[in-house]
Amino acid sequence: MSGLQSVINYIKEHDNYLILMHASPDGDTIGTACGLCGIIKRLGKKASVACADDIPAMYSRLVGDAVTCNFEVESIIAADVADVKLLGEYKSYAGKINLCIDHHVSNTGYADITYVDAESAAAAEILYDIAEQLGVKPDKYIAECIYTGISTDTGCFRFSNTTARTHYIAAQMLEAGIDIEEINRRLFETKSKSAIELERLVTNTLEYYCGGRVAVITVLRSMLDKTGASDEDIEGLSAFPRQIEGVIVGITLKESEEGGFKASVRTHPPADASELCRAFGGGGHLRASGCRIKGSEAEVKSALVKKAEELLSRHGL
């Protein structure tokens, strides 16, 4: 692992950059790659970005013509990519990556120069330092890139990875005149038609147990087939049962392709989600855990609810 100064020196001394994002790109890899591209161009150098997968429509404005590469690439940077495997079909660049800028503590150090700041909520936070060290004051475009990365990875300043520094950087991006209401509407308030349809079907399965302290929703294969919902659409549903007032244990059951169910358990204090899941050979975090259970929908539900009841009664609930 290298220090920030190695990154600055490398950028100053080279030109003609290709900046790679990870596959299944999110706002942080896109914001970091595009923001860095903008910073490098401000130095009078050439840069472009690339991703093995399609860029989701909500980020297309950010990427714009940064994907156009009308020069011979001499330097390759990876942005927010913890492992070469995450480059998708661009993992063919393995061994040729000169610089990697990342915030994942799990970074495998595959680049010649790897800079990891695991304290940063988003890789885009690191761009702020890079811009400053290179004497580039973020313009509106660079500011939107940095803000997008930060907002995406912190759930708009909601998650516990948000630090005081995150807010200080956001403040300075706002000073560049970006329209955060519009940016965040695009990032957080757009749902696909299939996600909406899946939500509708799944909400109809909502059941309460233990006087409303346990809530269960069920996602059947037939619902996924009917709506064409993606994995991402399903992922968001797990948060739903716990959001209901009075619910302490929220359970999302997903029918597996190979039979049986995958349960995602989210809890509020004092319930321990990992304890509940360990009883079925699973595990995870204190408030978010998972397990796989064989059996029919009724059997699986009854087993989980019984265990949840035991857990709550031990807390006098």
Q: Applying CB under 8 A, which of residues 164, 211, 257, 316 lies at the interface with its own copies?
A: 164
Asked if 174 interacts with its own copies (CB under 8 A), we say yes
Distance CA(230)–CA(243), nearest Å, equals 22
Nearer to its own copies, 168 or 259 (CB): 168
Question: Measured from the CB of residue 230, what is the shortest distance to its own copies in angstroms?
Answer: 12
Contact between residue 127 and residue 145 where contact means Cβ atoms under 8 Å apart: yes
Distance CA(218)–CA(297), nearest Å, equals 8
Site string for its own copies, 114-143 (x = CB under 8 A): ------------------------------
The structure tokens 């050979």 sit at 281
Nearer to its own copies, 197 or 297 (CB): 197
Site string for its own copies, 44-83 (x = CB under 8 A): -------------x--------------------------
Q: Applying CB under 8 A, which of residues 190, 222, 230, 302 lies at the interface with its own copies?
A: 190
Question: How many residues of this chain interact with its own copies, rule: CB under 8 A?
Answer: 43
Give every strand in the sheet of 261-267, ordered side by side: 207-209, 214-219, 249-255, 261-267, 288-293, 283-284
Asked if 184 interacts with its own copies (CB under 8 A), we say yes
Kindly write down the DSSP assignment for every residue of 12-46, as one continuous string: HH--SEEEEPPSS--HHHHHHHHHHHHHHHHTT--
Buried b (16+ CB within 10 A) or exposed e, 97-135: bbbbbbbbeebeebbbbbbbbeebbbbbbbbbbbbeeee
What residues contact residue 198 under an 8 Å CB cut-off, 6+ apart?
219, 223, 224, 227, 229, 233, 234, 237
Strands 288-293 and 261-267: antiparallel
Site string for its own copies, 210-249 (x = CB under 8 A): --x--------------------------x--xxxxx---
Question: Measured from the CB of residue 96, what is the shortest distance to its own copies in angstroms?
Answer: 37
Stretch that binds its own copies, among 13-21, 81-89, 181-189, 305-313 (CB under 8 A): 181-189
The structure tokens 């790679």 sit at 20
Q: Applying CB under 8 A, which of residues 61, 85, 193, 314 lies at the interface with its own copies?
A: 193
Question: Measured from the CB of residue 187, what is the shortest distance to its own copies in angstroms?
Answer: 9
Contact between residue 234 and residue 224 where contact means Cβ atoms under 8 Å apart: yes
Distance CA(125)–CA(117), nearest Å, equals 9
Asked if 165 interacts with its own copies (CB under 8 A), we say yes
Nearer to its own copies, 136 or 288 (CB): 288
Distance CA(97)–CA(173), nearest Å, equals 29
Q: Applying CB under 8 A, which of residues 160, 211, 231, 257 lies at the interface with its own copies?
A: 160
Residues that bind its own copies (CB under 8 A): 57, 156-160, 162-168, 170-172, 174-175, 179-181, 184-185, 188-193, 196, 199-200, 203-204, 206, 208, 212, 239, 242-246
